[in-house]
């Protein structure tokens, strides 16, 4: 009789036997315009003589809408509107009144949650279960949380007097479009600043729906201005002389350009940049839970997460077991139509990102790492990438150093806690890390030694508006969320 | 007991060297700056620190960082307190130096020493309190224990104020080391010797070697080297010029360094209350947030 393992008894790989029946989220109630311009000074500005571009559904490659591309003149109009709104209305309004406007936005996001979730998934490619259960509820929660601060700022920082800064210029990424807008807009409004914000060019639609909400909520014209465009538009915001504060979430490469651009201008700057998070699994960890944490850490949102646990550090003596269980778990992941409620991994956000992932995966194979992808059928159209894990990775491999921003995990091993700490910190980034162990003292010791702004102990990829988020080292500076998330938008004396 | 005699005794000049890694080396460059009193009398040939001296100081500061950050806040607090004690017992020497070399009045010299002592004591007290004031437990909407604590950023360069040879230096490092940072201080004004006199205070205050390193020289000479140094995590700048704000900001971006330009108090009065604040600690801490599930 062959060797029997307990794990084989528990194997129930339904995916091999039956397909899930389709569970499509309906889209018939979604009513998008053919084209979107900007939202400036309380007016929806049509696509005019400026350049425009298409935003597409990355799961089908079909166009969703034409989007205007703001030039310097348009950005200047938006900044002027924000300045006027700051000087005449918003900076003078009592905090308790500002709060009520922000509460209105929160409520309206909840009211329109399903519509926002569907559009988020159509425009960005993320699974509907994530946009519905994570992105949109968290966006609403963020507005709720910061609304409450608007009239309590005097209690936030003991002994200090606080003041708003003026006009905030904000540039956000495509991985959590509405949520990132909420992270930027909510604290800026609560602290009494006015805003010019640019959504990412591949995911502008929920920002335009947010503009409609802001309009319905009756915010004074010019308090929030949303301009669409690409990199040049973002540069025009960052470089505008009358912007007092710049907040950017995106790549470290662009973050450095922005840091140089604002040097000597006196603009206050916060950067939330890239990461190469280590997810550390010790041999005393609950392995099955850890495997769930690994999957959540790297495959959540197709791995388009700056704090993704993209480097798995496994203690050497459990490497085989963890990888075996991980591979089995990966084979149950449903990759495909983001609008299907069963889908775990949706579409890669854009062709450009797909190609970047493919290029880095090829480099992993070229450099000698061992690639594994479960057999799964990918849709014929759209940008889909099978979940991927690399073993036999060395710290010098590109896939161990560079941010892939896709569903690709690089596995390294370690023997001692000291080695795990060293390897985890061996990167210019410092955004997030995970630690899996059953021993509390070890967890706290490692958490203290890791150079990262967020540490998830026996969990991963958890977010909350009351919890500060942001990086060490080249992952940026400043925090978003919590009382600390007020600091970037205030002068504290 | 010695008896006073009416002789013309020649006094002994003191050699002022750099302070790096708990030692007093000469500058590797062999260069010097002749320092004079406010009346033009010779004080010393002071070391003119080079870029290499800066790099050596960063190495010392880096190797000191782990240990200093790992000290208990209570212990860091005790060491700042010890500095205050050491300065108090040597206050007459500093008052004398401020009057003779820098041209202070008796009252002003006393006021600067008083403020320097009190400031060390004041920041020392923050070492085991700022974490409580600026940390948080966060009421997340899920079954997790979630808290945020400030930690030191790492190795910092500080460009000390151009006035107040004693108090300016104290003001430029005290809010930085309280949290566990280590520091390379660049001193560039007409009375650099007083900074090196102060290094002797540090040297007998149980401060671990390399936590504070002091280089006398010219800001301009080392400036672009600071921003471009990959092992410097942050730059604290006092009395910055407009050009410095721009050039430091640009250089710092290469490694996303933290940069903070501290406000000069009104009238350059570093004894003012506005020249010390727990909020002066914050530009060079990193907030770390940890999550853990709660359950059985």
CATH number at residue A437: 3.40.309.10
Per-residue DSSP letter, A381: S
Residues A134 and A171 in one domain: yes
**Tokens at A110, concatenated:** 């909840």
**How many angstroms from the chain centroid is the CA of residue B153?**
15
Residue B19 falls inside a structural domain: no
**Tokens at A232, concatenated:** 């040049």
Chunk chain B into consecutive blocks of 10 residues (it has 296) and report each block's average pLDDT, rounded to whole numbers: 82 95 98 98 97 98 98 98 98 98 98 98 98 98 98 98 97 98 98 98 98 97 92 98 96 97 96 96 98 95
CATH number at residue A179: 3.40.605.10
Residue A23 falls inside a structural domain: no
Q: E strand or H helix at A194, and its extent?
A: strand A194-198
Residue A26 falls inside a structural domain: no
Residues A432 and A291 in one domain: yes
**Tokens at B11, concatenated:** 């006094």
Residues A239 and A313 in one domain: no
Residue A20 falls inside a structural domain: no
Is A275:A306 a contact under the CB 8 Å cutoff?
Answer: yes
Contacts of B286 in chain A (CB under 8 A): 430, 451, 453, 472, 477
Number of domains in chain B: 1
Average pLDDT, chain A: 96
Could you tell me which chain B residue has the CA closest to the CA of A458? B292
Put simply, the answer to whether B293 touches A476 (Cβ < 8 Å) is: no
pLDDT digits (tens, 9 = 90+) for B54-90: 999 999 999 999 999 999 999 999 999 999 999 999 9
pLDDT at B286: 98
Residues A301 and A399 in one domain: yes
Model confidence at A1, in pLDDT bands (50, 70, 90)? very low
Report, as residue numbers or ranges, the catalytic residues of A. Answer: 272, 306
CA of A415, closest CA in chain B: separation in Å?
22
Q: Domain span at residue B253?
A: 32-39+47-293
Residue B248 falls inside a structural domain: yes
Q: Domain span at residue A68?
A: 35-273+473-492
Name the residue facing B148 among A159, A452, A484 (closest C-beta).
A484
Residue B260 falls inside a structural domain: yes
pLDDT digits (tens, 9 = 90+) for A346-404: 999 999 999 999 999 999 999 999 999 998 889 999 999 999 999 999 999 999 999 99
Could you tell me which chain A residue has the CA closest to the CA of B259? A263
Residue A464 falls inside a structural domain: no
Interface test with A, best of B148, B263, B296 (most A CBs within 10 A): B148
Residue A202 falls inside a structural domain: yes
Return d(Cα A206, Cα A64) in angstroms, integer: 12
Residue A262 falls inside a structural domain: yes
Could you tell me which chain B residue has the CA closest to the CA of A427? B255
Model confidence at A4, in pLDDT bands (50, 70, 90)? very low
Q: Lowest-pLDDT range, A4-18, A23-37, A72-86?
A: A4-18
Q: Is the pLDDT reported for residue A8 higher than 60?
A: no
Report the phi/psi class of residue A144: left, alpha or beta, with left for phi > 0 and alpha for psi in -120 to 50. Answer: alpha
Could you tell me which chain A residue has the CA closest to the CA of B242? A264
Burial of B92 (0-12, 13-18, 19+ CB in 10 A): exposed
Residue B142 falls inside a structural domain: yes
Put simply, the answer to whether A263 touches B248 (Cβ < 8 Å) is: yes
Give the residue from A169, A183, A370, A145 showing the smallest Cα distance to A268.
A169
Residues A287 and A388 in one domain: yes
pLDDT at A19: 76
Return d(Cα B227, Cα A110) in angstroms, integer: 46
Residues A344 and A293 in one domain: yes
Residue A448 falls inside a structural domain: yes
pLDDT at A20: 83
**Tokens at B267, concatenated:** 């009238």
Residues A168 and A305 in one domain: no
pLDDT at A3: 45
pLDDT digits (tens, 9 = 90+) for A348-363: 999 999 999 999 999 9
Residues A189 and A98 in one domain: yes
Residues A348 and A203 in one domain: no
Residues A303 and A254 in one domain: no
Return d(Cα A374, Cα A13) in angstroms, integer: 13
Residues A239 and A374 in one domain: no
Residue B10 falls inside a structural domain: no
Contacts of A458 in chain B (CB under 8 A): 292-293
**Tokens at B171, concatenated:** 């003001």
Number of domains in chain A: 2
Distances A128 to A220, A299, A347, B135 between C-alpha atoms, Å = 33, 14, 11, 36
CA of B288, closest CA in chain A: separation in Å?
4
Strand order in the sheet with A35-36: A35-36, A62-68, A52-57
CATH number at residue B129: 3.40.605.10
Residue A6 falls inside a structural domain: no
Q: A345 by DSSP, 3-state: which? A: strand
Q: Lowest-pLDDT range, A6-20, A264-278, B120-134?
A: A6-20
Residue B275 falls inside a structural domain: yes
Contacts of A273 in chain B (CB under 8 A): 256
Is B234:B284 a contact under the CB 8 Å cutoff?
Answer: yes
Model confidence at A6, in pLDDT bands (50, 70, 90)? very low
Question: What residues contact residue B141 under an 8 Å CB cut-off, 6+ apart?
Answer: A141, A464, A466
Residues A298 and A165 in one domain: no
Put simply, the answer to whether B136 touches A483 (Cβ < 8 Å) is: yes
Q: Is the pLDDT reported for residue A2 higher than 70?
A: no
């Amino acid at each position: 009789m062959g060797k029997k393992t307990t794990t084989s008894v528990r194997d129930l790989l339904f995916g091999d036997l039956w397909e899930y029946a389709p569970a499509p989220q309906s889209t018939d109630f979604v009513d998008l315009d053919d084209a979107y311009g900007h939202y400036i000074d309380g007016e929806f500005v049509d696509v005019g003589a400026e350049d425009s571009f298409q935003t597409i559904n990355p799961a089908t490659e079909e166009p969703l809408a034409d989007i205007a591309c703001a030039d310097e003149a348009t950005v200047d109009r938006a900044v002027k509107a924000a300045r006027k709104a700051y000087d005449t209305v918003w900076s003078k309004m009592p905090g308790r009144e500002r709060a009520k406007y922000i509460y209105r936005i929160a409520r309206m996001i909840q009211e329109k949650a399903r519509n926002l979730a569907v559009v988020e998934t159509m425009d960005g490619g993320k699974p509907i279960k994530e946009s519905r259960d994570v992105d949109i509820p968290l966006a609403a929660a963020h507005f709720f949380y910061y609304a409450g601060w608007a009239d309590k700022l005097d209690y936030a920082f003991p002994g200090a007097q606080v003041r708003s800064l003026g006009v905030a210029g904000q540039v956000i990424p495509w991985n959590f479009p509405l949520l990132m807008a909420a992270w930027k807009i909510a604290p800026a409004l609560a602290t009494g600043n006015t805003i010019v914000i640019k959504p990412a060019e591949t995911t502008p639609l929920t920002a335009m729906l947010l503009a409609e909400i802001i309009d319905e909520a009756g915010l004074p014209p010019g308090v929030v201005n949303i301009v669409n465009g690409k990199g040049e538009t973002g540069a025009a915001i960052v470089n505008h002389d009358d912007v007092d504060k710049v907040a950017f979430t995106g790549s470290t490469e662009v973050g450095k350009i922005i840091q140089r651009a604002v040097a000597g201008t006196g603009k206050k700057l916060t950067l939330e940049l890239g990461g190469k998070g280590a997810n550390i699994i010790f041999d005393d960890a609950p392995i099955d839970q850890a495997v769930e944490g690994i999957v959540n850490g790297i495959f959540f949102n197709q791995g388009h997460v700056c704090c993704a646990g993209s480097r798995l550090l496994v203690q050497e003596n459990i490497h085989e077991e963890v990888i075996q269980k991980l591979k089995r778990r990966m084979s149950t992941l449903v990759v495909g139509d983001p609008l299907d409620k069963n889908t775990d991994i949706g579409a890669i956000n854009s062709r450009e990102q797909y190609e970047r992932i493919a290029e880095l995966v090829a480099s992993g194979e070229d450099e000698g790492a061992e690639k594994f992808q479960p057999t799964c059928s990918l849709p014929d159209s759209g940008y889909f990438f099978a979940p991927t894990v690399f073993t036999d990775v060395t710290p010098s491999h590109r896939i161990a150093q560079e941010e892939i921003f896709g569903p690709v995990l690089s596995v390294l091993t370690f023997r001692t806690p000291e080695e795990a700490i060293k390897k985890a910190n061996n990167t210019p980034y410092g955004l997030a890390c995970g630690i899996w162990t059953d021993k509390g003292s070890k967890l706290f010791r490692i958490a203290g030694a890791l150079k990262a702004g967020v540490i998830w102990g026996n969990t991963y990829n958890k977010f909350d508006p009351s919890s500060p988020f942001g990086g060490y080292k080249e992952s940026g500076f400043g925090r978003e969320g919590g009382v600390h998330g007020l600091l970037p938008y205030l002068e504290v004396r | 007991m010695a008896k006073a005699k009416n002789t013309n005794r020649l006094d002994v000049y003191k050699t002022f060297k750099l302070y790096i890694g708990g030692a007093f080396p000469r500058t590797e460059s062999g260069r010097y700056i002749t320092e004079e009193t406010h009346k033009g009398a010779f004080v010393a040939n002071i070391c003119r620190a080079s870029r290499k001296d800066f790099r050596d100081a960063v190495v010392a500061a880096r190797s000191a960082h782990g240990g200093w950050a790992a000290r208990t806040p209570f212990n860091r607090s005790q060491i700042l307190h010890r500095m205050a004690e050491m300065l108090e017992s040597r206050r007459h020497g500093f008052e004398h130096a401020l009057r003779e070399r820098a041209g202070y009045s008796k009252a002003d010299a006393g006021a600067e020493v008083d403020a320097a002592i009190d400031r060390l004591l004041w920041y020392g007290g923050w070492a085991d309190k700022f974490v409580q004031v600026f940390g948080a437990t966060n009421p997340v909407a899920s079954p997790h224990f979630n808290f945020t604590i400030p930690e030191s950023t790492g190795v910092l360069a500080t460009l000390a104020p151009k006035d107040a040879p004693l108090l300016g230096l104290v003001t430029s490092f005290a809010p930085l080391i309280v949290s566990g940072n280590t520091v390379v201080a660049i001193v560039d004004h007409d009375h650099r010797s007083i900074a090196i006199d102060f290094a002797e205070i540090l040297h007998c205050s149980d401060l671990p070697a390399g936590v504070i390193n002091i280089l006398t020289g010219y800001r301009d000479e080392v400036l672009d080297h600071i921003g471009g140094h990959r092992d410097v995590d942050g730059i604290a700048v006092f009395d910055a010029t407009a050009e410095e704000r721009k050039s430091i900001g640009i250089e710092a971006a290469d490694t996303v360094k933290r940069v903070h330009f501290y406000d000069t108090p009104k009238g350059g009065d570093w004894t003012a209350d506005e020249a010390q604040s727990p909020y002066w600690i914050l530009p060079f801490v990193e907030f770390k947030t940890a999550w853990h599930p709660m359950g059985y």
